[in-house]
Structure 1
Amino acid sequence: MHRVGYLIPEGFQIMSLATQTVFELANIAAGAGVYRVENYSLHGGPVRSSLGMHIDTLPLTAAGLADTWMVAGTLTPLTPPSDEVLHQVRGFVDSARRTAGLCTGTFVLTQAGVLDNRRATTHWAYAKAMQQAHPRVVVEEDRIFIVDGPVWTSAGMTAALDMALGMLETDLGVELARSVAHKMVMHQRRSGGQSQHSELLALAPKSDRIQRALDYARRHLNRPLSVEELAQVVHLSPRQFARVFTAETGQSPARAVESLRLEAARLMIEQSRHSLDTVARETGFRDRRHMREVFMRGFGVPPQAVRRDARRVV
């Protein structure tokens, strides 16, 4: 049996506990108690979440048998926990099979010094602060989750679910992980190498008509997608469309379409075995060389590096 201990700090973010569903459903799918999940705090007893809910916990002094530790995050990650908690966390890494920081729970691992000279990620809103405060940590702020030896770290909120499914796949295989993802209505289980960034969210148009143009562009990326075509979709003149689009998104239509192509190509590279020539063709790049140029400009790495990162064994 795999024993999973959650370290729950005062003011914890309730989303951290959503990952427990992965282990709960794994037990159901496996037809056996393959995981035992327990909640801990320094002294035990009720712990209050950031929303005001309380959860009962066991004291850390009773926590010697967990082989996986999950450190929950808070909405105030820059405030370090007590020295006693940091000492316990260092012990987790030394004795447990793996230790994970959920979202901003990664800060506890950095403050304990266990991420020095390791790769790590956290919620995008706090990644730069983590890098500045802990320069010995190799912060990769644009990743869903990262595994570096026995230490796992996840990006914000729902990314922790992907990390927990990654743990399940490591423990019990890909088919059981897929079964649990299906039960959780997670239509896409993201790999650790994926980006936290969503181009459509970043563009954030203010009107439905510009959103319709973006949705149309995303569905037809294998087409040239001229300004004239997009303008016709929303019944505007090309000149008026370009003006309104730029005012609402901060980007020209051509730049936005290129960003959507880049995101779609990255997802295809991470999630499929299609050749790079096929990916380039399906996402509307002129050819593989053109796609590489855009990848270098957008990500600073070539498509081959993205594929290697996505296939890295976790």
Structure 2
Amino acid sequence: MSTVALAVTDGMLHFELALVCEVFGANPPGGADPWYRLSVCGPGAVRAGRFWLEPDHGLDRLARADTVIVPGWADIGQDPPAELIDAVRAAHEAGARVVSLCTGAFVLAAAGLLDGKRATTHWAHTRELAERHPRVTVDPDVLYVDNGSLLTSAGKAAAMDLCLHLVRLDHGSSIANTLARRLVVPPHRDGGQAQFITTPVPAPDNHPLAGLLPWVIQRLDRPLTVEDLARQARMSSRNLSRHFRSVTGTTPLQWLLAQRIGHAQELLESTDDTVDAIAAATGMGTATTLRRHFHRTVGVPPDTYRRTFRARARPGPDDGGPHRRCPA
């Protein structure tokens, strides 16, 4: 069972605290066995917003966890507590995967863990993070950054995206999707997405594409075109593109490709199907086409992705270095 330690001190943001407890501390989604064992670690009773929290353990317990999560904290104008910085640094040196949510990145940066690495935080504080820690490459335009044993997220909803990303790494996309459905949140938003878009997002069942998107998801094995989508939606291709930009922030073809790639990732993780078979199941046509688009989108070829995911999801008995993963 993978242990997750939530590092808390006075001034932590209660949204991120509750989010971590909901994802890693609640009942596991069906099929997830074993699940995480969550502990809350702090120097004593701490205040988060209007709430008081009594930790289970002291900060020294962080060094015994597989994953350490540092939530956002309110007063970034002050240096993080030295005891928290030392405990987070010690945990990483002991081999823990260390994760920051929102402004928790200031703690990781103060511990020197992000030096020479790419990281993010809430867009409103990225400039200050970069100015205070010039050795950190701060990316203000992404939801989260995965450096392997060090991960950082932007604020609020992006913190949920990163938590689901961790579940997906540890247990696979099927379990992560089941959990996302229970939480009523999108199952997967790639970390490279922008932190915010200028157009409002409509209610899930109250937009012109509400009937079309599920229809497409059920037919990813077919060679769908923009014209096919427009015909199903009973609108012109031009109107379809306009609505897609408003609802999803991208074009119909880009959205469709993202769904195909996502489905390919699920099949690579959960089946032994050949790349040719997966190309057919995702509507990519040929293995060559799938490999080209997959490599460009994900950053590695499908075969490498499958090997990497299974190595993470099923560590051997000697696995325990600085990039530990819990068993699937």
Return the TM-score normalized by structure 2.
Answer: 0.62
What CA distance in whole angstroms lies between the structure 2 residues aligned with 1:77 and 1:279?
49
What's the offset of the Cα at 1:283?
0.9
* Paired residue secondary structure (2:311): coil
Structure 1 pair 249/142, CA: closer, same or farther in 2 (3 Å)?
closer
What CA distance in whole angstroms lies between the structure 1 residues aligned with 2:147 and 2:303?
19
What's the offset of the Cα at 1:280?
0.9
Deviations along 1:275-304, one digit per CA (max 9) or x if unpaired, are 211111111112111112222443443323
**Unaligned 5+ residue runs, structure 2?**
29-35, 313-324
Structure 1 pair 108/232, CA: closer, same or farther in 2 (3 Å)?
same
What's the offset of the Cα at 1:212?
2.4
Q: Is the 8 A contact 1:213 1:233 kept in 2?
A: yes
What CA distance in whole angstroms lies between the structure 1 residues aligned with 2:259 and 2:169?
27
Deviations along 1:212-248, one digit per CA (max 9) or x if unpaired, are 2232222211112233322232222455545554566
2:12 counterpart residue number: 11
User: Which of the numbers 42, 63, 72 marks the counterpart of 1:74?
Assistant: 72
Q: Is the 8 A contact 1:277 1:287 kept in 2?
A: yes
2:282 counterpart residue number: 283
RMSD: 4.9
Q: Who wins on radius of gyration, i.e. which is larger?
A: 1
1:30 counterpart residue number: none
* Paired residue secondary structure (1:157): helix
Structure 1 pair 240/154, CA: closer, same or farther in 2 (3 Å)?
closer
What CA distance in whole angstroms lies between the structure 1 residues aligned with 2:290 and 2:2?
44
1:90 counterpart residue number: 89
Q: Is the 8 A contact 1:101 1:107 kept in 2?
A: no
1:56 counterpart residue number: 54
Between Structure 1 and Structure 2, which shows a larger proportion of helix residues? 1
What's the offset of the Cα at 1:205?
7.0
Letter in structure 2 aligned against 1:222:
D
Q: Is the 8 A contact 1:117 1:138 kept in 2?
A: no
What's the offset of the Cα at 1:112?
0.2
Structure 1 pair 231/47, CA: closer, same or farther in 2 (3 Å)?
same
1:31 counterpart residue number: none
What CA distance in whole angstroms lies between the structure 2 residues aligned with 1:15 and 1:217?
34
Greater shift after overlay, 222-231 or 63-72?
Answer: 63-72
Larger RCO: Structure 1 or Structure 2 (Cα < 8 Å, ≥ 6 residues apart)? 2
Q: What is the percentage of aligned positions where both structures have the same residue? A: 19
Letter in structure 2 aligned against 1:53:
F
Q: Is the 8 A contact 1:204 1:249 kept in 2?
A: no
1:272 counterpart residue number: 271
| Correspondence 1:168-183 to 2 at 5 A | none
Structure 1 pair 98/226, CA: closer, same or farther in 2 (3 Å)?
closer
Q: Is the 8 A contact 2:60 2:87 kept in 1?
A: no
User: Which of the numbers 156, 159, 162 marks the counterpart of 1:157?
Assistant: 159
* Paired residue secondary structure (1:295): helix
What's the offset of the Cα at 1:70?
3.0
1:101 counterpart residue number: 99
